[in-house]
Amino acid sequence: MKHNVFFVIVFVLFIFSQCKSQEKEIVKNCQTNDSLFENPQYGNGVSSLQEFISSNVFPILSECRDSADLSYKVSYIYLEISEFGKVESVYLARFEYLNKCKDEVVTAFLNMGSWIPAKCNGHPIKSKRLIKMEY
């Protein structure tokens, strides 16, 4: 009986390792052949993302902005999107506001709702998205 359980466990681990190696091969193929890769998408595309930023992020920035500083700014937002379409992490670059404002913007992006995940050869994969924000 112990031998049977051992062989079942070994077999399951073998199958799992085969699935993982196939998954790595799929991702590797996407990196070498861009035609197999589909970018992640929020809602109906760019217009949905712009609407989200206008209605959820710009109000935070307008409250945080120093009234004396009306200069034009550019920030970059790096989103890590899971294979399930959830924003897992947010990194803000060239973001010149107080930490309180930074935390509010990060929270807004983390709670923004589902994305259509990136796909590689038809399989959903984890991806990163860079957004340039001008204000």
- What count of Cα atoms within 13 Å lies in the side-chain half-sphere of residue 14? 6
Instruction: Kindly list the distances between the CA atom of residue 7 and the CA atoms of 1, 4, 20, 129, in Å, as whole numbers in the listed order.
Output: 10, 5, 20, 43
71-75 CB contacts, 8 Å cutoff, 24+ apart? 72/134, 72/135, 73/134, 73/135, 74/132, 74/133, 74/134, 75/132, 75/133, 75/135
Q: Is the pTM of this model over 0.75?
A: no
Note the pLDDT tens digit of each residue in 18-64. Answer: 444 344 444 555 664 566 788 899 988 888 988 998 899 888 888 87
In the chain, where are the structural domains located?
1-32, 36-134
